[in-house]
Amino acid sequence: MTPTKVWLSSPHMGGEELNYVHEAFDTNWVAPLGPNVDAFEKAIEKELGNEVCVAALSSGTAAIHLGLELLGVGPGDEVICQSFTFSASANPILYLGANPVFVDSEKDTWNMSPELLREAIEDRIKNHRKPKAIIAVHLYGMPYKIEEIRSIADAYEIPILEDSAEALGSSFRGISCGTFGDIGILSFNGNKIITTSGGGALVTKNKVLRDKAIFLATQARDEAPHYQHSHVGYNYRMSNVLAGIGRGQMNVLKERVSARRRNYDFYLNSLASLKDISFLPEPKDFFSNRWLSCILTTCYDMRETLRMALLDQNIESRPLWKPLHLQPVFKDSKHFMDGTSERLFEKGLCLPSGSNLSQEELDRVVETIKNVLS
């Protein structure tokens, strides 16, 4: 008999979401605007603090697209992007006709290397191609090196788009991720820390930029009694129905973060004694939501042996992100690498991390791994 499926990161409802969804139906607010959208944005603003304003959108990818456009990225421009991330971090660069320049990671957080970032910027300036923006990612919920990346960006006067798709609930020195960049983005995809099924948000301290994001996200309709358009717009605004799910999810965000961190602690305590496995600790002043609990093995073969053993027990796991500079779609893009992300990809595995995992399911994961390594 096939064991029950253990998912990598499944949605986890809190119970109040349906009340807000019913409210949307009862009041006929089912369009991409309405009370739930407004309230969801306010809830995110309150959670993040730091005097930010938020635009709720249809996806995190849409938020990156709009964010880059608001930062002035256009055809022929270059944008520096972390290579060790999901493709959605970089795809919007191509939407705008710009070109990605990929930068490798450092070992302390697995995020963008400040040293290689500086090298990339200086190389592109020397070639009269000063980058228009930097996309820095908080990978798996671990904050990137905030101070170092910001210092470099400021020195060369390049804005930062902070990809916090995986980092809602994470912080650096008590300040929420998503509020450090010139523009930040969040994702509420079905596998994220909280979900609206599909959805995202753009975060900024500049209300003018926030209002422009909403303008562009609603087909860039000018003020007029008829449909008048002076700019190219997009259909990127979040539905009031989905925002209702988000309102309910925001009520349990802290619980979800605590549950994911407990998962990580359980894996660490159960597996750290095994010589073939290592974990990524939090640097001082860093707080990760531990969106996904990840391990490093000794080599590619070991990673695959573990992955297939878990799969045989109907347990979903996944290799760490394949670096974007290795992806066929980006094969001609410039990149500045030292091999870090390639080694992480070869050796790393994401373990089941959902906030709704039972102790029995966690025990199954650990038992399977121990059976392989013993």
- Which residues does the annotation mark as catalytic? 192
Question: With helix as H, strand as E and coil as C, how does 234-284 read?
Answer: CECECCHHHHHHHHHHHCCHHHHHHHHHHHHHHHHHHHCCCCCCECCCCCC
3-class SS at 180? coil
CA dist 320 → 128, 260, 300 (Å): 35, 17, 11
What is the spatial distance between Cα 77 and Cα 69, in angstroms, rounded to a whole number? 11
Given the structure tokens 């964010």, which residue do they identify? 67
What is the spatial distance between Cα 100 and Cα 129, in angstroms, rounded to a whole number? 12
Report the side by side order of strands in the sheet with 171-172. 175-176, 171-172, 286-287
CA dist 17 → 209, 259, 354 (Å): 30, 19, 18
Compute φ and ψ for 361, nearest 5 degrees.
Answer: -65, -45
Contact (CB, 8 A) for 267 and 296: no
Number of other CB atoms surrounding residue 25 within 10 Å: 12
State the amino acid at position 197 in one-letter form: S
Residue 332 neighbours by CB under 8 Å, 6+ apart: none
